[in-house]
Chain A
Amino acid sequence: MTPDQFLVTVGGLAAIGLIAWFFWLKRSPGVKASIVSDGYQEQMILVKGGYTPNTIRVTAGRPVRLLFRREETAACSEQVVLADFGKSALLPTGQVVPIEFMPGESGTHEFTCQMGMLRGQIVVEAA
């Protein structure tokens, strides 16, 4: 093995490790939804190439209102689906679309675009 081949191999392995770590292993702690005047836990989510924030922490047993605002026209993100809560909504560009649900027991629930390409999660924590 020549020195350049050695360097490319080591560099390639490092790149593979970096990709696996970056996309699969590192997880952000997420954002805790704030409680608003009507008692809901509320969080605004920006839809642009993904969901920002993409991890929302909520407390079990208190109603949640997620406010989705889509700021792009790419067809991929035109719909958001919260399959575990049986909810979905079309997201017209530039409009705020609320989705409300009552989180039950603690656990993690995904929300995705219709094709499952854009992903976020709702982490329900015990009260």
Chain B
Amino acid sequence: MTSTLHTPATDPAGAVSGPQTAEATHHPAAVTAPASSPAHDRQAEYRTLMRKWWFGAAVGVPTMILSYPWLFPGLRDVFTRGGAALWWLWVAMGVASLAVLVYSGSQFFTGAWEALKHRSANMHTLIAIGTGTAWLYSTVALLFPQLFPSAEMTDVYYDVTVVVTALVVLGMAMEVKARGRTSEAIEKLIGLAPKMARVVRDGVELEVPVEEVVVGDTVVVRPGAKIPVDGVITDGVSAVDESMITGESMPVEKRAGDEVIGATINKTGAFRFRATKVGADTTLATIVRMVGDAQASKVPIQRIVDVVSGYFTPAVMILAVAGFVIWYDFGPAPAFAYATIVAVTSLIIACPCALGMATPMALTTGVGLAASNGILIRSGDALQAAKRIDTIVLDKTGTITLGKPAVTDVVPANGFDVDVVLALAAAAERDSEHPLAAAIVESAAERGFARLEPTSFEAVPGYGIRALLGEQRVLVGKRAFLEAKEISVGALEEDASRLADEGKTPVFVAVDGRAAGVVAIADPVKPDSRGAIAALRRLGLQVVMITGDNHRTADAIARQVGVDRVLAEVLPVDKAYEVRKLQLEGRTVAMVGDGINDAPALAQADVGFAIGTGTDVAIEASDITLISGSLHGVVSAIAISRATMRNVYQNLFGAFAYNSLGLPVALGVLYPFIGLLLSPLLAALAMSFSSVTVISNANRLKRFKLAEVSA
């Protein structure tokens, strides 16, 4: 075992299972394409199958013509029925068709034999029995015509052998090609993995393979370069194109303290960052692992299909035998020939592949499509559940809003200037640890105000702060705080009330005993929240906002973004309970949160969406993870889930309908009524196309237009 290269399997938790061997380097489960991958195998398989098809086709064309020489004027005279020339021609065709069976059709016989050894039967079994029976019948009829009661029964069916083999092989080649396209998304993700990184070691900048980057390394990124691993910027400013990971098309501005994701592309500036995640821990590796697992998972409906396909192939064999017996006993003469053809046609037309591929192909394409838009669907169960939801609960902070309080308005009192009010408030708040203080200080810094040093500072918890800035006495806080100092807020009261109605928190500023202005602070609504919520409502969902804020603030935000229902003053621990209450109303509920403190609610919901994150913890807690912070991702995820499940049902319907119509026709149920009996050649054509149709329908999902859903 130790001498063999082990390719580790993965589990949903993201842990790499399985032993590592000497071949493994620093980060054994990082995103790398192995020397022999299913993609390589598929290429080789496709080339082999195409060679087999061409050989089958080359033999097939003359075989088709020469099987019925009496239909062609020139040949009719040379190859007369019962003549030696025709007999020798058919002997030559027998040899040629045997060559096709051995070369082009070998996988059917070896596959059937291998399956038989496992007491199972599959498509190979059906085709091997079908083509083998046609060849054997023809050969026996040719060599021992005296065994047959009439001359009519001694016609040969070598054309069936050759053409069926060739067509099914062609179908398999097309299937291999199309299967490759369904898994393009994950191969593209794997292809994003950077190869080299520039790191600083002992003060020297070195280019090293990305596998050699360790946590804590300082990594240098030049303009236009791919960011090698995940980390936090320590120095520099730039715009980064994260579209390949988050699905967001606009480059994101990054500065010191911001996180960067490996495999994204640096656009304009140069910067340095400290590596925080390498190898199998990077966001890209997590995504690849998760997408792979989701694509291999099963949609609940697949379990029913599995039961059916477990019985399918032997059931077809039983039907073929039953068809043979019925045609032999009750069919027209020559009964043996008819019975054989009916049995062969039934075996060939049945397509267990279409049934087996219906769900996995759609799931693979749908999950891949989602991943390429920054949406990680955890499993087939999540996908099916997402299709059923009728109510969506959005956590306010961090989901609808940015989750970061900021100054939105500054209203000066008569005789004061906006900038002066903000600058004084910021200077006074400089040493405060209150979250609202940070918003004021940051706002002043963004506007480039000089930092003033307070000579004294005092915080009155729950009310505000007092500070001395040179000669000026500054108070910042609630109205009651100013009034306690006998400072009247005057006309500012009206402004404060209006701002509160808009969902903002007003903070009063007083200078030297006079009210100077009101600074309004709010957690701003994300620019695209309103549009996304409208799109969710267009999808027929009831949109509920849940928040710990008071009703006044909550209602103000709700009015801005247009939700249907507001659940305000809900403590974080009670969010799961509120979700449960909605479920008790008979609703199928999705919960959208940032995945940090919403875990119980995300778990309680029928579908949990974690938004704006690619961390393992958030992925674990949710059914669907949106790497970007935009609510439009939720719209896209639901639309993709619905489209994928629609595709699954279309495929399943197609596969079931094909088999349940094709089989009876092949068995000849229409013969007594309209004299229709299917040719085995047509059956082969239909069989090949049924599985290709299923895959092509799944591939159609890739053209799904997300922009139209969100518009």
Chain A residues near B11: list those with CB within 8 A. Answer: 86-87, 101
* B176 at interface, CB cutoff 8 A: yes
Chain B residues near A112: list those with CB within 8 A. Answer: 306
A65 touching B36 by the CB < 8 A rule?
A: no
Given known A5-B328, A74-B45, contact A16–B9 (CB-CB < 8 A): no
* B204 at interface, CB cutoff 8 A: no
Query: What 0/1 pattern do residues 16 to 55 of A give for CB contact below 8 A with B?
Result: 1001101110101000000000000000000011111010
- Tell me which of B19, B324, B356, B379 contacts A115 (CB under 8 A): B356
CA distance A110 to B309 in the complex (A): 14
- CB closest residue in chain A, given B296: A88
* B10 at interface, CB cutoff 8 A: yes
* B111 at interface, CB cutoff 8 A: yes
Chain A stretch 105-124: residues in CB contact (< 8 A) with chain B: 110, 112, 114-119
CA distance A86 to B12 in the complex (A): 7
* B597 at interface, CB cutoff 8 A: no
B34 touching A92 by the CB < 8 A rule?
A: yes
Chain A residues near B113: list those with CB within 8 A. Answer: 49
* B408 at interface, CB cutoff 8 A: no
* B325 at interface, CB cutoff 8 A: yes
Query: What 0/1 pattern do residues 1 to 33 of B give for CB contact below 8 A with A?
Result: 100111111111000011100000000000000
Q: Give the segment of B315-323, B448-456, B602-610 that binds chain A.
A: B315-323
Chain A residues near B124: list those with CB within 8 A. Answer: 49
- Tell me which of A12, A54, A83, A88 contacts B324 (CB under 8 A): A12
B36 touching A93 by the CB < 8 A rule?
A: yes
- CB closest residue in chain B, given A22: B119
Chain B stretch 171-192: residues in CB contact (< 8 A) with chain A: 175-176, 179
Closest CB in chain A relative to B458 CB, distance in Å? 57
* A126 at interface, CB cutoff 8 A: no
Q: Give the segment of B223-231, B297-305, B473-481, B664-672 that binds chain A.
A: B297-305
- Tell me which of B5, B34, B322 contacts A96 (CB under 8 A): B5
CA distance A98 to B10 in the complex (A): 9
Chain A residues near B34: list those with CB within 8 A. Answer: 92, 95
- Tell me which of B38, B107, B356 contacts A90 (CB under 8 A): B38
Which of B1, B6, B118, B119 has the largest count of A CB atoms less than 10 A from its CB? B118
Chain A stretch 45-71: residues in CB contact (< 8 A) with chain B: 48-52, 54, 65, 67
B9 touching A9 by the CB < 8 A rule?
A: no
Given known A12-B322, A49-B110, A50-B115, contact A97–B6 (CB-CB < 8 A): yes
Chain B residues near A73: list those with CB within 8 A. Answer: 41, 44-45, 48
A117 touching B17 by the CB < 8 A rule?
A: no
Which of A52, A65, A89 has the largest count of B CB atoms less than 10 A from its CB? A89
Chain B residues near A13: list those with CB within 8 A. Answer: 325
Chain B stretch 112-130: residues in CB contact (< 8 A) with chain A: 113-115, 117-124
Chain A residues near B232: list those with CB within 8 A. Answer: none
Number of interface residues of B (CB under 8 A): 68
CA distance A117 to B111 in the complex (A): 12
Closest CB in chain B relative to A67 CB, distance in Å? 7
A81 touching B296 by the CB < 8 A rule?
A: yes
* B249 at interface, CB cutoff 8 A: no
B7 touching A95 by the CB < 8 A rule?
A: yes
- CB closest residue in chain A, given B352: A117
- Tell me which of B36, B325, B357 contacts A12 (CB under 8 A): B325
CA distance A60 to B190 in the complex (A): 36
* B103 at interface, CB cutoff 8 A: no
Given known A74-B107, A75-B42, contact A92–B298 (CB-CB < 8 A): no
Closest CB in chain A relative to B460 CB, distance in Å? 55
CA distance A12 to B670 in the complex (A): 22
* B329 at interface, CB cutoff 8 A: yes
- Tell me which of A9, A91, A100, A119 contacts B120 (CB under 8 A): A119
* B37 at interface, CB cutoff 8 A: yes
Given known A8-B329, A88-B293, A115-B353, contact A49–B7 (CB-CB < 8 A): no
- Tell me which of B8, B45, B328 contacts A75 (CB under 8 A): B45
Count A-B pairs with CB separation below 8 Å: 171
Chain B residues near A114: list those with CB within 8 A. Answer: 296, 360
CA distance A65 to B37 in the complex (A): 22
CA distance A119 to B339 in the complex (A): 32
- CB closest residue in chain B, given A81: B296
* B105 at interface, CB cutoff 8 A: no
* B310 at interface, CB cutoff 8 A: yes
Chain A residues near B179: list those with CB within 8 A. Answer: 75
Closest CB in chain A relative to B123 CB, distance in Å? 8
CA distance A26 to B116 in the complex (A): 13
CA distance A50 to B118 in the complex (A): 6
Chain A residues near B41: list those with CB within 8 A. Answer: 73, 75, 78, 92-93
- CB closest residue in chain A, given B357: A115
B7 touching A90 by the CB < 8 A rule?
A: yes
* B292 at interface, CB cutoff 8 A: yes
- Tell me which of B107, B119, B293, B313 contacts A28 (CB under 8 A): B119
CA distance A89 to B45 in the complex (A): 19
A23 touching B314 by the CB < 8 A rule?
A: yes
* A104 at interface, CB cutoff 8 A: no
- CB closest residue in chain B, given A120: B118
B38 touching A78 by the CB < 8 A rule?
A: yes
* A1 at interface, CB cutoff 8 A: yes
CA distance A35 to B522 in the complex (A): 62
B311 touching A24 by the CB < 8 A rule?
A: yes
CA distance A64 to B326 in the complex (A): 50
B5 touching A90 by the CB < 8 A rule?
A: no
CA distance A12 to B322 in the complex (A): 7
Closest CB in chain A relative to B72 CB, distance in Å? 35
A115 touching B360 by the CB < 8 A rule?
A: yes
Closest CB in chain B relative to A29 CB, distance in Å? 13
- Tell me which of B175, B309, B318 contacts A20 (CB under 8 A): B318
A49 touching B114 by the CB < 8 A rule?
A: yes
Chain A residues near B302: list those with CB within 8 A. Answer: 116
B4 touching A96 by the CB < 8 A rule?
A: yes
CA distance A117 to B321 in the complex (A): 22
- CB closest residue in chain B, given A2: B329
Given known A16-B321, A87-B11, contact A23–B292 (CB-CB < 8 A): no
CA distance A8 to B324 in the complex (A): 9
In the assembled complex, 19 residue pairs joining A and B whose CB atoms fall closer than 8 Å, in A order, are: A8-B329, A16-B321, A50-B115, A75-B176, A86-B293, A88-B10, A93-B41, A95-B4, A95-B7, A96-B1, A97-B9, A99-B9, A100-B17, A114-B360, A115-B353, A115-B357, A116-B356, A117-B123, A119-B120
Please list the residues of chain B having a beta carbon within 8 angstroms of any beta carbon in chain A. Answer: 1, 4-12, 17-19, 34, 36-38, 40-42, 44-45, 48, 107, 110-111, 113-115, 117-124, 175-176, 179, 292-293, 296-298, 302, 305-306, 309-311, 313-314, 317-318, 321-322, 324-325, 328-329, 339, 352-353, 356-357, 360, 379
A-B contact sample (9 more), CB < 8 A, given A92-B37, A116-B356:
A8-B339, A16-B321, A87-B11, A89-B7, A90-B7, A92-B7, A115-B309, A118-B122, A119-B120
Please name the 9 residue pairs, one residue from A and one from B, whose CB atoms are nearest each other, closest first: A49-B114, A88-B296, A115-B356, A50-B118, A89-B9, A98-B18, A12-B325, A23-B314, A100-B17
